[in-house]
Amino acid sequence: MLAGSWVSLRCARYLVRDDRVYPFAMAVVVGGLVGARVAHVADNWPLYSSRPQDIVAFWNGGIGTMGAPIGSTIAGYLAGRALRLPLGFMFDISVIGISLGEALGRIGDVINGEHHAVACAGLPWCVRYTHPDTLGQRELVHPVAAYDLLVMALIFVALLWWWRRVRGRPPEGRVYLAYLLLFGGFRVLTSLLRLDPTWLFGLQEAQVLGTLYTLAGAAGLVLLLRRSRLRSA
Give strand ranges (E) for 85-182.
none
**Would you write out the chain's pLDDT as a tens digit for each of its 233 residues?**
899 999 999 999 999 989 999 999 999 999 999 999 998 888 888 888 777 777 777 666 678 889 999 999 999 999 999 999 999 999 999 999 999 999 999 999 999 998 999 999 889 999 999 999 999 999 999 999 999 999 999 999 999 999 999 998 888 999 999 999 999 999 999 999 999 888 888 899 999 999 999 999 999 999 998 887 777 65
Helix (H, G, I), strand (E, B), or coil: what is residue 187? helix
The angle formed by the CA atoms of residues 233, 161 and 85, to the nearest 5 degrees, is 65
pLDDT of residue 158: 97
| Tens digit of each residue's pLDDT (9 = 90 or more) over 46-64 | 888 777 777 777 666 678 8
pLDDT of residue 57: 72
Integer Cα distance of 143 and 145 in angstroms: 6
Q: What do you get for the CA distance between the two ends of the chain, in Å?
A: 41
Total tally of structural domains belonging to the chain? 1
Residue type, 108: G
Integer Cα distance of 134 and 179 in angstroms: 32
Domain range spanning residue 108? 2-232
Residue environment code for 57-75, b if the CB has 16+ CB neighbours within 10 A, otherwise e: eeeebebbbbbbbbbbbbb
| Tens digit of each residue's pLDDT (9 = 90 or more) over 174-192 | 999 999 999 999 999 999 9
The answer to pTM > 0.95 is: no
